[in-house]
Structure 1
Amino acid sequence: MKTLLLFLLLCHASSAVKHTLRYFLTGSSGVSAFPEFLGVLEVDNVQAGYCDADTFGPKQDWGQTVAEHDPDQEQWYRNECYNKRPFLFKEMISLKQRFNQTEGVHILQLMSGCELDDTTGQVSGFLQYGYDGEDFITLDLNTLTWIAPTPKAVITKQRWDTERGRIKYNERLYTEVCPQWLKMFLHYGEKTLLRTDPPSVSLLQKTPSSAVSCHATGFYTDRALMFWSKDGEEIHEGVEHGEILPNHDGTFQMSVDLNVSSLEDWRRYHCVFQLVGAEDKIIMDLDRAVIRTNSIPPSEFPAGVLIGVVVGLLLLLLLCITALLLWKNKKGFRAASTSDSDPDTTPKGTPVRLCCH
Structure 2
Amino acid sequence: MKMFLLLFLLGINGGGARLHTLKYFETASSQVSNFPEFVSVGYVDDDQISHYDSNTMRAEPKQIWMKENTDQQYWERQTRNSLNNQHINKISIETAKQRFNQTGGVHMFQYMYGCQLDDETGEVDGYRQIGYDGEDFIVYDLKTETWIAASPQAVFTENKWENDKGLMSRRKYYTTQFCPDWLKKYVEYGRSSLLRTVLPSVSLLQKSPSSPVTCHATGFYPNRAMLFWRRDGEELHEDVEHGETLPNHDGTFQMSSELRLSSVSPEDWGKYECVFQLSGVEEDLVTRLDPEKILSNRVKPLDSTTIIIISIIFIIFMVLAVVGFLVYRRVKKDKPSPPSVSSSEEQQLNVHE
Q: Please report the TM-score for the alignment, with normalisation by the length of structure 2.
A: 0.76
Which residue identity lines up with residue 302 of structure 1 in the other structure?
T
* Separation of aligned partners in 2, 1:320 and 1:209: 49
**Stretch of structure 1 that moved more, 259-268 or 159-168:** 259-268
- Work out whether 1:192 is the aligned partner of 2:186: no
% identical equivalent positions = 46
* Separation of aligned partners in 1, 2:177 and 2:122: 12
Which residue identity lines up with residue 103 of structure 1 in the other structure?
G
* Separation of aligned partners in 1, 2:27 and 2:273: 44
- Work out whether 1:257 is the aligned partner of 2:258: yes
Which residue identity lines up with residue 241 of structure 1 in the other structure?
H
Which residue identity lines up with residue 37 of structure 2 in the other structure?
E
Query: Deviations along 1:74-103, whole A, 9 cap, x unmatched?
Result: 676444312223222222222222322121
- Work out whether 1:62 is the aligned partner of 2:65: yes
Q: 1:215 to 1:30 in 2, by over 3 A?
A: closer
Q: 1:246 to 1:38 in 2, by over 3 A?
A: closer
- Work out whether 1:273 is the aligned partner of 2:276: yes
Query: Deviations along 1:142-162, whole A, 9 cap, x unmatched?
Result: 222210011111111111111
Q: 1:293 to 1:31 in 2, by over 3 A?
A: closer
Provide the alpha-carbon RMSD of the alignment: 3.4
CA drift of 1:275 comes to: 0.9
CA drift of 1:291 comes to: 3.8
Instruction: Name the SS for the 1:95 alignment partner.
Output: helix
- Work out whether 1:41 is the aligned partner of 2:42: yes
Kept after mapping to 1: 8 A contact 2:59/2:78: no
Bigger Cα Rg: 1
Map of 2:179 onto structure 1? 178
**Stretch of structure 1 that moved more, 161-170 or 305-314:** 305-314
* Separation of aligned partners in 1, 2:63 and 2:51: 10
Q: 1:92 to 1:184 in 2, by over 3 A?
A: same
Alignment of 1:1-357 (within 5 A): 16-17=16-17, 18-53=19-54, 54-68=57-71, 77-117=78-118, 121-264=122-265, 265-293=268-296, 295-299=299-303, 302-308=306-312, 310-311=314-315, 315=319
CA drift of 1:163 comes to: 0.7
CA drift of 1:40 comes to: 1.2
Query: Deviations along 1:111-149, whole A, 9 cap, x unmatched?
Result: 110123456543210112111221111122122221001
* Separation of aligned partners in 1, 2:40 and 2:181: 21
Query: Deviations along 1:237-291, whole A, 9 cap, x unmatched?
Result: 2223333344454333333232233324233222111112432211222234544
CA drift of 1:310 comes to: 4.6
**Stretch of structure 1 that moved more, 292-301 or 264-273:** 292-301
Q: 1:79 to 1:239 in 2, by over 3 A?
A: same
Q: 1:312 to 1:257 in 2, by over 3 A?
A: farther
Which residue identity lines up with residue 227 of structure 2 in the other structure?
M
* Separation of aligned partners in 2, 1:254 and 1:56: 31
* Separation of aligned partners in 2, 1:235 and 1:78: 49
* Separation of aligned partners in 1, 2:144 and 2:21: 22
Which residue identity lines up with residue 93 of structure 2 in the other structure?
M
Listed as ranges, the gaps of 5+ residues in structure 2 are 1-13, 334-353
Instruction: Name the SS for the 1:274 alignment partner.
Output: strand
**Stretch of structure 1 that moved more, 111-120 or 313-322:** 313-322
Which residue identity lines up with residue 104 of structure 2 in the other structure?
E
CA drift of 1:171 comes to: 1.1
Instruction: Name the SS for the 1:126 alignment partner.
Output: strand
Q: 1:158 to 1:58 in 2, by over 3 A?
A: same
CA drift of 1:322 comes to: 7.6
CA drift of 1:67 comes to: 3.1
Instruction: Name the SS for the 2:70 alignment partner.
Output: helix
Aligned residue pairs total 316
Kept after mapping to 1: 8 A contact 2:47/2:251: no
* Separation of aligned partners in 1, 2:214 and 2:53: 42
* Separation of aligned partners in 2, 1:116 and 1:163: 27
CA drift of 1:188 comes to: 1.0
* Separation of aligned partners in 2, 1:34 and 1:219: 30
Instruction: Name the SS for the 1:177 alignment partner.
Output: helix
Instruction: Name the SS for the 1:267 alignment partner.
Output: helix
Kept after mapping to 2: 8 A contact 1:16/1:117: no
Q: 1:214 to 1:27 in 2, by over 3 A?
A: closer
Instruction: Name the SS for the 1:302 alignment partner.
Output: helix
Instruction: Name the SS for the 2:26 alignment partner.
Output: strand
* Separation of aligned partners in 2, 1:260 and 1:319: 54
CA drift of 1:226 comes to: 0.9
* Separation of aligned partners in 2, 1:37 and 1:144: 28
Q: 1:226 to 1:104 in 2, by over 3 A?
A: same
Higher helix proportion (structure 1 or 2): 2
Map of 2:5 onto structure 1? none
